[in-house]
Structure 1
Amino acid sequence: MNVKSKKPPRPVFVCRECGHQSGKWLGRCPDCGEWESLVEEILHVQTPGGTTVSQPQPLYLAPEGDEDRISTRMEELDRVLGGGIVPGSVVLIGGEPGIGKSTLLLHLLASIAEDGRKVLYVSGEESARQIKMRARRLGAIHPDEFLATESVVEHIIAMTCAMRPSLLAVDSIQTLTCTDVASSPGSVTQVRESAYRLLGMAKKENIPVVLVGHVTKDGAIAGPKVLEHMVDTVLYFEGDRSHAFRILRTVKNRFGSTNEIGVFEMKEEGLVQVSNPSEILLAERPINEPGSVVLPSVEGTRPILVEVQALVSPTNLGTARRTAIGADQQRLSLLCAVLEKKAGLDMYGHDIFLNIAGGMRIDEPALDLGVICALASSLLEKPIPSTTVVCGEVGLAGEVRAIGHVDVRIREAQRLGFNRFVLPRSNKERITWKPAIELIGVSSLQELMDVVFG
């Protein structure tokens, strides 16, 4: 009797960045263009079996789901999630080592457990003793919290289906392995296959899953980029470890906005929500000091007042330095050129340093006017009144362009006691209500200099 031998697994080369597969090693990935990113993996060829074909149904008959969101009882986290955790969804949280991902996870599990819901925390990195030590320090121990130290995906799925918790948290996706995948934990194949199986379990059993992901030296989540495409929500935990503040930023969200942020402060008792970050970020602001101005920024739907600091100093080198912390350095160079050309200020022979105080990072165009005012103030040694806020976009011709969310910026500046708001003239003309703050519209850099520096 002839027995047909099984096909041996064949080696393939998989790109760490995008998951592209090649039959031979290549120095550069033909898909994403990264150099030396292809690593050897063993590909198991599965024999196709019987499959069940699902039947389509009218869209209006599909089950509703938004009203079933699970509140985390953490206002900052609910904001970035779009109102809570959607049952059956998969959330991926990434961040630098030591930034507080595991701490946030323990706070999240304890908050949900306080509602009488069972939660399961699976760790492939730490022992149960280590996790309990941290949970005790954070005050995040609850009878409905369950803990398992496991790294085999099949065991985690079986455990979850038997227990049926309200939330499964896995720390981290890079430590998981599938028994029928012959590669080491953290490899492209293992990460992709582990995430795919947990995603299938979440959708089938309607159990939400939170995954923690490591990041590379460039700040991107380690593993194939397809990992971020597979999950429903991607959150990045950001912050400088020298600062107490941590920013939870939404990068992808199928169930809400992708522009929201949550602000936390790292203390001895763990992460503490910051419900009013503007007051804290401006608490140590110098008064009537050249090079400092307040900017009403908007992250998603949330207004945050931040301090923009600039230091302009004559250079002793042949080439002047341009350094930006918390802002785009290329944008800083562009605005320096606009000031030199359109306002007649000598920026070329000066070293320029820009900083967004408090460890914040601002990417919106409304930052332009704040940068311009801070640079001019430092160069001219003329302070901007401490009760003035500015915001607006600046074009290459020196014009001041309109920005969005002006109403919420004005209300936040009013609430914190500012009495003068410099903004684009086109924005001022469209305001239909009477704010209790003086609004000054400008349309060019010349008007801005006259208004701010008299």
Structure 2
Amino acid sequence: MAKRTTQFVCQSCGAVSSRWVGKCEACGAWNSFVEEVGGGTTIGSAVFGQKGRPMRKGRVVPLVELSGEIAQTPRLESGIAELDRVTGGGFVRGSALLVGGDPGIGKSTLLIQAAATLARKGARVVYVSGEEAVAQVRLRAERLGLSDAPVALAAETSVEDILTTLADGPVPDLVVIDSIQTLWTEVVESGPGTVTQVRTAAQAMVRYAKESGATVVLVGHVTKDGSIAGPRVVEHMVDAVLYFEGDGARHFRVLRSVKNRFGPTDEIGVFEMTGGGLREVPNPSELFMGERDGSSAGAAVFAGMEGTRPMLVEIQALVAPTSLGTPRRAVVGWDNSRLAMILAVLEAHCGVRFGQHDVYLAVAGGLRIQEPAADLAVAAALVSSLAGAPLGHDCVYFGEVSLSGAVRPVAHAAARLKEAEKLGFVRAVGPKLANGEAPNGLKRAAVAQLVDLVTRIAADGAGGAPRREQRG
């Protein structure tokens, strides 16, 4: 009989210690170690003894050549276009996906809608809920108008019982586990939700997906910093990691792909939360630009890219005089360090001073922008607010700003400009483009240096020029 050992596992990163410590040396978290009891044998000693002698007989794994025929992996289209876009064209059979998001953001609603759509198309779908009873899931399905879909439903948290149930009958096309933090297995003796239980349960479900060919979708809780709870190794085990983002004060939700072995990363799908569930938003630019006022100073339209999708969003800036010794810098939807860099470049190379002003920057609609191509739009919004000069309602901005003040080209410029032309914009300010890279109906103004943009706004502005200092 194997000897039982006691170990302490960090619930933030999964680090193991032989004794309890207050601060984890691996991730720096405080009071995160929890005592867990497991077997005395480890993964290595289960195969080889202390002296290197085999303890059990393994099987021979067939070895094949690198070259050979490659079978096209069939995909299972969910019927929800935005979800299929994020996954790369549909669920890949035999793959495991991890969907994370804040509580109440709509993870369960999205997955039950996808499960019902697939079931109506003839696929065998199993939905296992570990957080809600069967009656509660039925109430949600009835509210969404999905109660007639032939989805096999169960409320269970035991990994052994779930795998035995799935093996009893035909292999399902889709299995939804809501959520992975509620599962527990008899292999380990720690409580549900601990690092060891989450890792072991996820490994068992991923192994089932690979061996059976069924698509397994795991729902994961998130921590306070927005990352999926549990060890990071869970994200490495699955084939795709999707984050469901949104703000409770707004109706739209963004499904973002941060890892995908079978499709592009950083792809997004946009949904709108309604009384009847999540509704797809095929043209997010119209959603984020619907209430725009082009006559206000400090607002610039950014032609951005989210994965392979062009998207226009409005960047709003407010530069106001301050009486404080240290001016405030507040950012919503963009990188705070990036804003500090743009302010420094404007002061060093353009002579625009913000030392006596508070600066507030926000991305309209609650969307978060991560690409550096928004530098030029941010700079335009800042200068426009400081000068009190509106930028106009028919112009878009994009381009990366270097520390020397140069405006660098960005990828997918043609797609950005085509999206702007489709929504009625007639002018575009950005880096120099190659011939034929933009639509002919769009007027382009190439800026090589950031100071060219400041001069352009000062010349076109009706509310006064920005405050610049002459260099001697």
Question: Given the alignment, which residue of 335, 350, 367 partners 1:343?
Answer: 350
Q: How does 1:38-437 map to 2 (within 5 A)?
A: 38-45=33-40, 49-61=56-68, 64-66=71-73, 68-163=74-169, 164-425=171-432, 428-429=433-434, 431-432=436-437, 435-437=440-442
Aligned to 2:448: 443
The residue type paired with residue 232 of structure 2 is K
Q: Tell me, what secondary structure is at the counterpart of 1:366?
A: helix
How many residues in Structure 1 have an aligned counterpart in Structure 2? 446
Question: Given the alignment, which residue of 5, 8, 14 partners 2:3?
Answer: 8
Q: Provide the TM-score with structure 2 as the length reference.
A: 0.91
Indicate if the aligned counterparts of 1:28 and 1:36 stay in contact, CA closer than 8 A: yes
The residue type paired with residue 153 of structure 2 is L
Q: 1:11 to 1:65 in 2, by over 3 A?
A: farther
Question: Given the alignment, which residue of 1, 24, 27 partners 2:22?
Answer: 27
Rounded Cα–Cα distance in structure 2 between residues aligned with 1:198 and 1:432: 47
Kindly state the Cα deviation for residue 333 of structure 1 after the two structures are TM-superposed: 1.5
Q: Which runs of 5+ in 2 are unaligned?
A: 48-55, 460-472
Rounded Cα–Cα distance in structure 2 between residues aligned with 1:185 and 1:28: 23
Kindly state the Cα deviation for residue 431 of structure 1 after the two structures are TM-superposed: 4.2
Q: Tell me, what secondary structure is at the counterpart of 1:311?
A: strand
Q: Provide the TM-score with structure 1 as the length reference.
A: 0.95
Q: Tell me, what secondary structure is at the counterpart of 2:123?
A: coil
Indicate if the aligned counterparts of 1:340 and 1:348 stay in contact, CA closer than 8 A: no
Indicate if the aligned counterparts of 1:399 and 1:445 stay in contact, CA closer than 8 A: yes
Kindly state the Cα deviation for residue 450 of structure 1 after the two structures are TM-superposed: 2.8
Deviations 1:75-121 (A, max 9, x none): 11111111110111000000001111110111110111121111000
* Identity rate, percent: 47
Rounded Cα–Cα distance in structure 1 between residues aligned with 2:140 and 2:457: 51
Kindly state the Cα deviation for residue 329 of structure 1 after the two structures are TM-superposed: 1.1
Kindly state the Cα deviation for residue 243 of structure 1 after the two structures are TM-superposed: 1.0
Indicate if the aligned counterparts of 1:161 and 1:205 stay in contact, CA closer than 8 A: no
Deviations 1:196-234 (A, max 9, x none): 111111111111100000011111111111111111100
Indicate if the aligned counterparts of 2:245 and 2:256 stay in contact, CA closer than 8 A: yes
Q: 1:106 to 1:381 in 2, by over 3 A?
A: same
Q: 1:378 to 1:91 in 2, by over 3 A?
A: same
Kindly state the Cα deviation for residue 339 of structure 1 after the two structures are TM-superposed: 1.6
Q: Which runs of 5+ in 1 are unaligned?
A: 1-5
Indicate if the aligned counterparts of 1:259 and 1:300 stay in contact, CA closer than 8 A: yes
Deviations 1:122-162 (A, max 9, x none): 00100111111111111223442010000000111111122
Q: Tell me, what secondary structure is at the counterpart of 2:108?
A: helix
Kindly state the Cα deviation for residue 451 of structure 1 after the two structures are TM-superposed: 2.7
Q: Tell me, what secondary structure is at the counterpart of 2:137?
A: helix
Deviations 1:268-291 (A, max 9, x none): 111111000101111100121101
The residue type paired with residue 447 of structure 2 is V
Q: Tell me, what secondary structure is at the counterpart of 2:304?
A: strand
Rounded Cα–Cα distance in structure 1 between residues aligned with 2:294 and 2:384: 13
Kindly state the Cα deviation for residue 340 of structure 1 after the two structures are TM-superposed: 1.9
Rounded Cα–Cα distance in structure 2 between residues aligned with 1:44 and 1:260: 42
Deviations 1:33-55 (A, max 9, x none): 44433221112245654432311
Rounded Cα–Cα distance in structure 1 between residues aligned with 2:256 and 2:391: 31
The residue type paired with residue 128 of structure 1 is V
Q: Tell me, what secondary structure is at the counterpart of 2:12?
A: coil
Rounded Cα–Cα distance in structure 2 between residues aligned with 1:433 and 1:275: 23
Of 291-300 and 43-52, deviating more is: 43-52
Q: 1:136 to 1:259 in 2, by over 3 A?
A: same
Rounded Cα–Cα distance in structure 2 between residues aligned with 1:239 and 1:182: 36
Kindly state the Cα deviation for residue 448 of structure 1 after the two structures are TM-superposed: 1.0
Indicate if the aligned counterparts of 2:117 and 2:149 stay in contact, CA closer than 8 A: no
Rounded Cα–Cα distance in structure 1 between residues aligned with 2:436 and 2:456: 20
Indicate if the aligned counterparts of 1:245 and 1:359 stay in contact, CA closer than 8 A: no
Indicate if the aligned counterparts of 2:413 and 2:437 stay in contact, CA closer than 8 A: no
Indicate if the aligned counterparts of 2:124 and 2:173 stay in contact, CA closer than 8 A: yes
The residue type paired with residue 449 of structure 1 is V
Rounded Cα–Cα distance in structure 1 between residues aligned with 2:428 and 2:57: 67
Q: Tell me, what secondary structure is at the counterpart of 1:242?
A: coil
Deviations 1:311-352 (A, max 9, x none): 111112211110110001111122112222222222111111
Deviations 1:391-417 (A, max 9, x none): 111122221111111010010011111
Aligned to 1:18: 13
Aligned to 2:53: none
Rounded Cα–Cα distance in structure 1 between residues aligned with 2:387 and 2:394: 19
Rounded Cα–Cα distance in structure 1 between residues aligned with 2:88 and 2:195: 30
Q: Tell me, what secondary structure is at the counterpart of 2:104?
A: coil
Q: Tell me, what secondary structure is at the counterpart of 1:19?
A: coil
Rounded Cα–Cα distance in structure 1 between residues aligned with 2:448 and 2:323: 36
Indicate if the aligned counterparts of 2:319 and 2:385 stay in contact, CA closer than 8 A: yes
Kindly state the Cα deviation for residue 25 of structure 1 after the two structures are TM-superposed: 2.3
Rounded Cα–Cα distance in structure 1 between residues aligned with 2:249 and 2:446: 38
Kindly state the Cα deviation for residue 23 of structure 1 after the two structures are TM-superposed: 1.9
Q: Tell me, what secondary structure is at the counterpart of 1:78?
A: helix
Indicate if the aligned counterparts of 1:65 and 1:86 stay in contact, CA closer than 8 A: no
Indicate if the aligned counterparts of 1:102 and 1:171 stay in contact, CA closer than 8 A: yes
The residue type paired with residue 190 of structure 1 is Q
Q: 1:388 to 1:239 in 2, by over 3 A?
A: same
Aligned to 1:3: none
Rounded Cα–Cα distance in structure 1 between residues aligned with 2:29 and 2:371: 29
